[in-house]
Amino acid sequence: MATSEDTVVNDTHVGKEGKNTNKKKKVTPRYWQLKKEKKNQEQKTDAGQKKETTDDGQKSELAQQQTKEKKPRVKKRKHGGENQEGVQKKAMSVPQKKRKREAGNPQRVKKKPMLVGAKNKTQEDERSKKTGISGGKMDPFPGSAPVPEEKLKKFRRKDRLKLPSRQLYKLRRVMAQSQVVSDMAQNQAARQDLLLPEDAGFLEGDEDEDTCTISQEDITDAVDITSGAKYFNLHLSQFGPYRLDYSKTGRQLLVGGRRGHVACLDWQSKQLMCEMNVMETVNDVKWLHSEAMFAVAQKKWLYIYDSNGIELHCIRKFNDVLRMQFLPYHFLLATASATGFLQYLDVSVGKEVAAIGTKAGRLDVMCQNPQNAIIHLGHSKGTVTLWSPNQKDALVKMLCHQGGVRSVTVDKTGTYMVTSGMDKKLKVYDIRTFKPLQSYFLPAGASSLSLSQRGLLSAATGDIVQVYRDVWSTPVTKPYMAHRLRGPVWGLQFCPFEDVLGVGHGEGFTSMVVPGAGEPNFDGLDANPYRSVKQRQEWEVKALLDKIQPELISLDPGQLGLVDYAGFKQRHEDRVEALGYDPLAVDKFKPRFKKKGRSKSGNIEKRKKQVGHEDTREVIKKTVEDRMRIEKQMAKEKEKRKSFSSQKSALDRFKK
Amino acid sequence: MVAKTTKSKKKRVRKNEKKHAKTPEVKKKATVTNPDVDYDDGEDEAVDENIHSEGEEDGSDDERKHQKLLEAISSLGGKKNRRKKAERSEATVQMSEFTVNAEGEGCKINLSDLIGTMEKTPAVSIKTKKQLKHLRFSNSTLDSPLSKQETERIQRDLAFQKASTEVSRWQSIVRQNEKAEQLVFPLNKEYPGPKVMEQVVSGWQAKTPLEQEIFKLLSINKQPVHDPVLTPMEEASLKAMSLEEAKIRRAELQKARALQSYYEAKAKRERRIKSKVYHRVQNKSKRKELVKQFDQMVKTDPAAALEELKKLELSRMKERMSLKHQNSGKWAKSKAIMAKYDEGARKAMQQQLEVNKELTEKLVSSLNNEEEEDEEGDPEMLPDFVNDQEPVLDPTNPWMRGKLSKEPAEEEEERDSGEPIAMANPAEEEEQNEPEVEETEEEALLREFDAKRKRRQAEESDTVAVIHKVDDAEENGAESTGVVIVSNDDEEEEEEHKVDDAEENGAESTGVVIVSNDDDEEEEEELSEFTNLYKGITDSHPEENKTLEDVELLDGEESTADQMTVENHEVPVTENPQSEPHMTSKKRKRNRGLELTEVLTKDTKVIRVPMAPTAIENTDEDREEDQRDIIRQAFAGDDVISDFLKDKRHQEAAGRPVAVDLTLPGWGDWGGIGIVPSRRKRKRFTTKVAPAAPRKDRSLPSVIISEKRDSTISLFQVSSLPFPFETPAQFESTIRSPVGRTWNTEQTVKKITKPKVVTQMGAIIDPITRDDLVKAEKKAADDRQKK
């Protein structure tokens, strides 16, 4: 704070100081005060002026350099101040303008100093005669600190709409109110978004050194012990390739070997929570909403265990599950099966929400979009399909590869999708527009992909894991990191809130250190890695209360805030679809069969017509009645209004 | 007593009168409402008199005595009373209680009778008499009094107005309370907590001697007490600019102004020169200089040069938007008239047109492509010939003809997939079905794919034959076919060679056959899409070959030659004999197909990995199955695109509304075999359907977006606009910003979710009083003044 004040002062007076006066000055923030002091010193040092000029010349240069360095910051502050305080703006305007002028145009300032000095001298003298006391220190930046624009932009929730005319005062009031509220929310959120503002640390190689050649051992040697301990291997060669899952907070790890070995552990303390062999093929493992329960997709059915390894449920409705995804805010477990079914299980009530036959064969590629809870499935036909539990067919079907799709992943913000296919390509899509952004050719193709919270992409090719930085914006030519494992990779996941990549492979599990992967700022109310049991329980209750219904899953999560434009017809159709029959349908008249030749076709037709006519007559009658009634009412109202308006007012005389 | 009553009556009447005078509006009403007061003034008076006299008659004895006494007293004074009071002294048989005799009881008394007597009586004042006279001549009758209901209604209205004015005084305070973010009841409670600093300070005075001294000093120095930005002294100093400074500043300004005016004058002069040669030379030199500058800039400051280029681009855009160089200006029109005779004019026009062409030429970019597609006519609209008869169906049955036996889209598909050819060539049909069949053995799979390729190869050599067949088939059909021209020498080798060349160049392959068949245009277009697509695939071949190769290497199997894959993709180009001609294809480049190819051939960047993966051992049993999958998936790529396109087209067709043809063949016509309903009739009886809304994926060739409505979310949505909102956008914007703790800071949440009304427990909430009203009014007035 002090430095910035100094700079302001320097800023304004550098020119003068450099040119005509020489002073050893103790800089004080009030510039009028400074002038005065300056003058005083001037008077004092008039005699010894020539001696000190050289010294001061150097000094002023230094000062100039300083100001140059700090200028942008200072300017910014000024700007913000102007934007922020409307009231104070007026008061400030004069000095600020002056400052700006001086700062922006040093030449002109240089021209003037003689005059200014002369004038000030006299004033200063007067003042010094009168007083011996100077005023108190003033805040040079009055009002609250301004919030940077980018941050404000980050928290902007809605666009500004033009306020309606004053005649619609109620609407105007409501809208103005909401605007004020949203502005306040935006400002406060931006102001509080201060945590860890530095950039994430990434690996930096020496000159001519690729970061991808740095081995894990090197990294562990370089970093502190706790971080170094995050690189470890679990040698589990017996039960074959492992799949893994980190819990939402990133503290717990769940590994499931293909041959039935399931274990969950607190991976940081290496404390084993449970370990068992389910004696069956394990296709996938997944934590449920908390670390108390997890789901295991076994050979035939889907099982749910608690963290002690006790079997809680065997869900027979879910068979041949190959891949699972858990939607944490909806409490939905989505499963993709070998029979081509995509099923949703609501784990909070234990009910199957939806079962969708995708008609796309074996589903072994699956991921979720964390932003809108849409499930992405990859198919052998090179397509990626997007699903919600509310529609029986795919919301979107994209052709991504010429071969089958091997892996899909979506980034945290729901903006980018990365796919890899049998054609050995790695493609990056913008899934808001469904347009391709980048396409890479990997010599060996990528069998599984994973994106970290900060957008690092890990791709597994055979027994090698590569990590890429920033695959979407700039074309990448080489990986950021690479690591060879003992066996072919089977599962891959970045640990949330940690710079760690977990890899499940044929010979067990490896936890790699990937600098810059995890989000350093966690939301303590959402996923707190350091929460206690009590906090977890509390969170669980709150999360359940905040549970989002599966009906709200759609491509655009903001759809809930839109007005339903559907007309009567559309709504009726929806209703018919929901009910299974048309509640407004009227049975068609079927003429009764009459004997004695009265059911000749002509007679039947006549009868039909009669009924038809009667119906129409009724309808007409009704409409006419309605119209009459409305007209009557209108007339009545009109008359009433007239009777009121017929009263003469004093102003009527001006009417023409 | 009676007199008193009469007096009071009078008073009442007077009062009424007064009121009338006060409010002329109300008066009318009042006259209508109160029938008993329903007189003119004069009449009023008359009646008063009447009543008066009557009262006198009615008066009791003692009153009369009193009167007499008074008279006596007055006579005593010698002053003669001019007015002689009338006294009645008729002798009557019966004396009524009210001293009115009952004589002439049966007959009616007119008012005029009474008036007549009145005139004679001296007691009546002259004024009254006059009025009475006047009354006698006036003929107007009075309105009959209103009915009870009506009077009541009017009274109610009046009462309502009165009440409403009374109540509306409260409106401001009510509105204020409505506006208030939060109301804490009881309303006028003093805030118990700590007070705002300024409030406290403003009432504070220096009391102790120390304080007083300090304040004195401050005031002497003109130091601010409250912390304004500038002290008064400073402000004063700022205001006063020294004379010299002011002079300098003025001189500067003067100079600048003078320079500006000179420059302006010069520019004006130059602009006024009419010589075209001069301007041309000037322009040329300017341009040269610009180019020179630009060249220099490129060397010295490339960033700035780029900016300059961008500017140029922008100016070009503007030009494109404007109507300049369109030959539509005044000059151009005049030239156009002269063009026939004047060589120079023609040339000038030509030049301008060229400039226009140059300007309007589109720069190729992906963005432009999209635009182009938009320009294209609506593809969703069904052309008329979709409803045309099916030539393959029984031509003798007119019923069959008129009917739309199949969805047109399906038909197209059939045609697209080259089924007619397939029918001619049974081998291919077989092959089409084959991908569905899955054999367990790896080798079998591979063999199968091999065979497939070979077949395709063979097919390719048969193209010419196929063409002939198709030609025949078309001749059989009802529609006449155009001329089929085979552009090449019918030599397969050369043809193949050409195709190869084209593929190598990455350019579009040359068309083989030119077909000019008007009615099959759509079909053709669809096909062209296809061909384009495959062209794209062939373009992207180098990579493809590699991938397939790699997969095969990975399997450890011997790969069939790359050629095969190449040819494999060529096939479709020659497969469809009706593939579009090269010349016309330019126009159709805008088709989706081309974009799809762009998507799939998006230039890939090869990533170099420092480590190569170790080979995967095949020994594991578990992996055998996966291996098979891998192979299958690797080869599935052949049909991936066509399958996808088929799917897309199918979905598009399903969403398209279909026009219904209600033509009855033979209705109003001659019947019989071979009767075709006339075109006019068909047109008349086809119900046109409004075209469907454009699909969301119309500009995305490789994406199918479902157009189905998600009705589940509509249960949660607002279906009709709530009250104060006029447009959905307004409403949506107000509910746009989130309220919950997840998105907001705690402080914000508290503020937002503040309850509208808070009542303090145990506190008595008094009803609002008039004092509040006065306060509120004052406040409102203040606000208005401030504004």
Taking the C-alpha atoms of residue A56 and residue A19, their distance in angstroms, rounded to an integer, is: 10
Cross-chain residue pair B227–A404, CB shorter than 8 Å: no
Residues of A within 8 A of B718 (CB-CB) are 563-564
Partner B contacted by A618 (CB < 8 A): no
Tokens of residue B127, six digits: 């004024």
Residues of A within 8 A of B609 (CB-CB) are 212, 442-444, 461, 464, 466, 478-479, 482
Q: Are A491 and A244 in contact (CB under 8 A)?
A: yes
Q: Are A498 and A518 in contact (CB under 8 A)?
A: yes
Name the residue with higher pLDDT: B205 or A519. A519
Taking the C-alpha atoms of residue B594 and residue B596, their distance in angstroms, rounded to an integer, is: 5
> Pick from B503, B684, B470: which is nearest to B579 by CA?
B470
pLDDT at A241: 94
Q: Dump the DSSP string for B450-511.
A: HHHHHHHHHHHHTHHHHHHHHHHHHHHSSSPP--EEE-S-S-HHHHHHHHHHHHHHTSPPPP
Angstrom distances, CA of residue B396 to CA of B389, B423, B456, B474, B478: 12, 23, 38, 18, 12
Taking the C-alpha atoms of residue A282 and residue A299, their distance in angstroms, rounded to an integer, is: 6
Per-residue model confidence as pLDDT tens digits over A555-591: 998 888 899 888 888 888 888 888 889 888 888 888 8
Per-residue model confidence as pLDDT tens digits over A335-358: 999 999 999 999 999 999 999 999
Tokens 């009417």, residue located? A655
Distance from CA of B750 to the nearest CA of A (A): 11
What is Dmax (Cα atoms) for chain A?
142
> Pick from B648, B530, B632: which is nearest to B579 by CA?
B530
Q: Which A positions 83-102 lie with beta carbon below 8 A of chain B?
A: 88, 91-92, 94-95
pLDDT at B100: 60
Cross-chain residue pair B702–A395, CB shorter than 8 Å: no
Q: Which A positions 475-514 lie with beta carbon below 8 A of chain B?
A: 475-479, 482, 484, 488
pLDDT at B40: 43
- pLDDT-derived band at B94 (thresholds 50, 70, 90) equals low
State phi, psi for A494 to the nearest 5 degrees: -80, 145
> Pick from B127, B137, B128, B108: which is nearest to B46 by CA?
B128
Partner B contacted by A69 (CB < 8 A): no
pLDDT at B453: 62
Tell me B417's DSSP state: T
Residues of B within 8 A of A185 (CB-CB) are 737, 743-745, 748, 752
Partner B contacted by A552 (CB < 8 A): yes
Three-state secondary-structure class, residue B144: coil
- pLDDT-derived band at B218 (thresholds 50, 70, 90) equals confident
What is the pTM for the complete model shown? Answer: 0.55
Radius of gyration in angstroms for the set of CA atoms belonging to chain B, rounded to a whole number? 54
pLDDT at A51: 42
Report the residue from B605, B609, B737 with minimal CB separation from A158: B737
Report the residue from B179, B230, B712 with minimal CB separation from A173: B179
State phi, psi for A369 to the nearest 5 degrees: -95, 110
pLDDT at B92: 58
Residues of B within 8 A of A563 (CB-CB) are 717-721, 728, 731-732
Q: Which B positions 559-618 lie with beta carbon below 8 A of chain A?
A: 596, 599-600, 602-614, 616
Tokens of residue B761, six digits: 């427990």
Residues of A within 8 A of B605 (CB-CB) are 438-441, 475-477
Task: Identify any residues that bridge with A287 across adjacent strands, giving them in sequence order.
Answer: A294
Distance from CA of A177 to the nearest CA of B (A): 9
Distance from CA of A560 to the nearest CA of B (A): 6
Task: Identify any residues that bridge with A321 across adjacent strands, giving them in sequence order.
Answer: A337
Taking the C-alpha atoms of residue A423 and residue B537, their distance in angstroms, rounded to an integer, is: 13
Report the residue from B228, B637, B743 with minimal CB separation from A402: B637
Q: Which A positions 135-164 lie with beta carbon below 8 A of chain B?
A: 135-136, 138-139, 142, 157-159, 161, 164
Name the residue with higher pLDDT: A371 or B471. A371
Taking the C-alpha atoms of residue A305 and residue A292, their distance in angstroms, rounded to an integer, is: 9
State phi, psi for A449 to the nearest 5 degrees: -130, 155
Q: Give the rounded percent of residues in chain B with a pLDDT score beyond 70.
A: 49
Distance of CA B368 to the CA centre of its chain: 27
Helix (H) or strand (E) holding A644: helix A601-645
Distance of CA B108 to the CA centre of its chain: 82
Cross-chain residue pair B702–A400, CB shorter than 8 Å: yes
Tokens 């209901």, residue located? B149
CB burial of residue A145 (10 Å; 0-12, 13-18, 19+): exposed
Angstrom distances, CA of residue A495 to CA of A511, B599, B642: 9, 33, 40
Model confidence at B514: pLDDT above 90? no
Three-state secondary-structure class, residue A651: helix
Alpha-helical regions (H) of B339-441 = 343-360, 366-375, 398-402, 408-416, 419-424, 426-433
Report the residue from B221, B713, B745 with minimal CB separation from A560: B713
Q: Are A157 and B710 in contact (CB under 8 A)?
A: no
pLDDT at B337: 82
Question: Which residues of chain A, if any, have pLDDT below 50?
Answer: 1-39, 42-134
Name the residue with higher pLDDT: B496 or A554. A554
Report the residue from A88, A184, A464 with minimal CB separation from B613: A464
Task: Give the list of residues 6+ apart from residue A323 with CB closer than 8 angstroms, or none.
Answer: A283, A284, A297, A335, A336, A363, A364, A365, A366
pLDDT at A532: 93
Taking the C-alpha atoms of residue B565 and residue A112, their distance in angstroms, rounded to an integer, is: 82
Partner A contacted by B196 (CB < 8 A): no
Q: Are A512 and A495 in contact (CB under 8 A)?
A: no
Per-residue model confidence as pLDDT tens digits over B136-175: 777 777 888 889 999 999 999 999 999 999 999 888 888 8
The number of residues making up chain B comes to: 787
> Pick from B737, B31, B628, B663: which is nearest to B384 by CA?
B663
Model confidence at B434: pLDDT above 80? no
> Pick from B458, B463, B510: which is nearest to B490 by CA?
B463
Cross-chain residue pair B634–A422, CB shorter than 8 Å: yes
Taking the C-alpha atoms of residue A495 and residue A451, their distance in angstroms, rounded to an integer, is: 10
- CA nearest A98 in B: which residue? B238
Mutate to test the interface with A, among B704, B721, B747 (most CBs of A within 10 A): B704
Taking the C-alpha atoms of residue B631 and residue B440, their distance in angstroms, rounded to an integer, is: 12
* Number of Cβ within a 10 Å radius of residue B672: 9
Which region, left, alpha or beta, applies to residue A424 given φ > 0 means left and ψ of -120 to 50 means alpha?
left
Tokens of residue B146, six digits: 């209103």
Angstrom distances, CA of residue B259 to CA of A108, B264, B270, B371, B633: 20, 9, 17, 49, 78
pLDDT at B163: 95
- CA nearest B236 in A: which residue? A123
Q: Which B positions 623-652 lie with beta carbon below 8 A of chain A?
A: 629-630, 632-634, 636-637, 640-641, 643-644, 647
Partner A contacted by B550 (CB < 8 A): yes
Report the residue from B221, B611, B748 with minimal CB separation from A130: B221
Mean pLDDT of B734-751: 88
Q: What is the mean pLDDT of chain B?
A: 66
pLDDT at A308: 93
Q: Which A positions 325-384 lie with beta carbon below 8 A of chain B?
A: 362, 380-383
Cross-chain residue pair B602–A574, CB shorter than 8 Å: no
Q: Are A291 and A532 in contact (CB under 8 A)?
A: no
pLDDT at A89: 38
State phi, psi for B294 to the nearest 5 degrees: -60, -45
Least confident of A349-358, A574-583, B239-248, B462-471: B462-471
Q: Are A219 and A513 in contact (CB under 8 A)?
A: yes
Cross-chain residue pair A435–B700, CB shorter than 8 Å: yes
Distance from CA of A302 to the nearest CA of B (A): 21
Distance from CA of B11 to the nearest CA of A (A): 29
Distance from CA of A360 to the nearest CA of B (A): 12
Report the residue from B25, B181, B713 with minimal CB separation from A551: B713
Residues of B within 8 A of A400 (CB-CB) are 702
CB burial of residue A464 (10 Å; 0-12, 13-18, 19+): buried
